[in-house]
Amino acid sequence: MIFTTKQNGFYLNGQPFFLYSGEIHYFRIERQFWPTHLRKLKAAGANTVSTYIPWSWHEYSEGCFDFCGETNPQRDLLGFIQAVIAEGLYLSVKPGPYILAEFQDRGLPDWLLRTHPQIKAEGLEMVTYLHPVFKEYIRKWYNALLPLLVPHQISRGGPLLMMQVCNEVGLFNWLAGTADTSQVVLDYYHTFLSKSYRSIEEMNEAYQSAYCNFKEVCPPKQPATTVAEFIRWQDWHDFHRWYYAEYLSWLIEEIRNHKIEVQLFHNIPGWVFGRGAEYPVNISFYAEIIHRHPELLLGIDHIPENPNYRNLHDDLIINEMVRAVQGGMKPVWAAEQQAGTREHNVHTFPNEM
């Protein structure tokens, strides 16, 4: 079978396919209840089940992997896939390395964070995306997991339709309003500047500075009050979009090297305090990665809290901006769709959803 995307939707074997999915986290449910949950999902009209695959859950100790339930029945990922097949559902997986999902350490192994504290980002509760040690362990995680998923792809007769590449890259920087200024990131920053300017002299002219080489350049800190300072800030912001693209490109290449052929996607955060006002900035995080990998599908995290006349138009604007970033060649869809609300004082009714 062949699963593809066009500008107006998803297609299965050339026929329009409405991807109606729901989350079932096998690692949070006793194994004996997996079939029950899958049947209820199907009875609700869904045709696909989506799940994270937590790195920390399956590599419970360094180099010790369990995907068959040998140490805990809820680690039987392969058994869960068989249960999905038995219920006649399709599958979408999100193997990280970050998963968030209200999971401890966002799915990163605690042993990794303890034994390699140097990978932690400077001033942020996250790790440095492109730290060489982090990349080394991501590669080991992919080496263990991805070969197990290959035979279950839709192109090989399995249920697997799509795979998410990491999760909401740039989220922590956005929420904290700050950047990772670890040396690894600064090294990438200097590389970015050397690619952006033909010479240090050209950059000095733009910055009204007197640097001897790109490695001397520090990120801006003070608000811009001159054209030169504005250019410096613009470069710093552009760098982050380039840096996120470097990280996602590396992940995509690693995934493809393991013969994963399914549609890859990445999800965009942006709703906050019931409005999507910050989505225009967040969507721009991914313009560079789409330029490099136009086959990557962007999905909207649609979490408006309390849907009403004050924010419904935000959704339309967000949809059109995501469509534009993808050149109008991909469907607009929700990678995450709110059900209910996390605000205890807000009553959400079915007809609002």
The bridge status of strand 263-268 relative to strand 297-302 is parallel
Q: Alpha carbon 61 to chain centroid distance?
A: 24
Q: 232 near 208, Cβ under 8 Å? A: no
pLDDT digits (tens, 9 = 90+) for 105-156: 999 999 999 999 999 998 888 999 999 999 999 999 999 999 999 999 999 9
Tokens of 254: 């690693």
pLDDT digits (tens, 9 = 90+) for 218-230: 999 999 999 999 9
Tokens of 79: 């058994």
| 130 closest CA partner among 246, 284, 241, 253 | 246
**Cα–Cα distance, 28 to 30 (Å, whole number):** 7
Highest mean pLDDT among 65-69, 102-106, 343-347: 65-69
Share of the chain above pLDDT 90, in %: 88
Domain ranges of the chain: 3-177+247-352
Which residue type occupies 349? F
pLDDT digits (tens, 9 = 90+) for 238-271: 999 999 999 999 999 999 999 999 999 999 999 9
Contacts made by residues 259-262, CB under 8 angstroms, sequence distance 24+: 259/150, 260/146, 260/149, 260/150, 260/153, 260/163, 261/153, 261/155, 262/3, 262/153, 262/154, 262/155, 262/160, 262/161, 262/162, 262/163
* DSSP track, 123-184: TSSSB-TT-HHHHHHHHHHHHHHHHHHGGGBGGGTSSEEEEE-SSSTTHHHHHHT-----HH
Sign of the C-alpha dihedral, residues 226, 231, 232, 234? positive
Q: 26 near 49, Cβ under 8 Å? A: no
Tokens of 317: 């604007």
pTM as predicted: 0.95
Q: Enumerate the active-site residues.
A: 168, 336
Q: Alpha carbon 49 to chain centroid distance?
A: 18
Domain 3-177+247-352 is classified in which CATH homologous superfamily?
Answer: Glycosidases (3.20.20.80)
Share of the chain above pLDDT 70, in %: 96
3-state SS class at 349: coil
Asked if the model's pLDDT at residue 85 lies above 60, the reply is yes
Looking at residue 353, its pLDDT comes to 56
Looking at residue 304, its pLDDT comes to 86
pLDDT digits (tens, 9 = 90+) for 190-222: 999 999 999 999 999 999 999 999 999 999 999
**Cα–Cα distance, 271 to 293 (Å, whole number):** 25
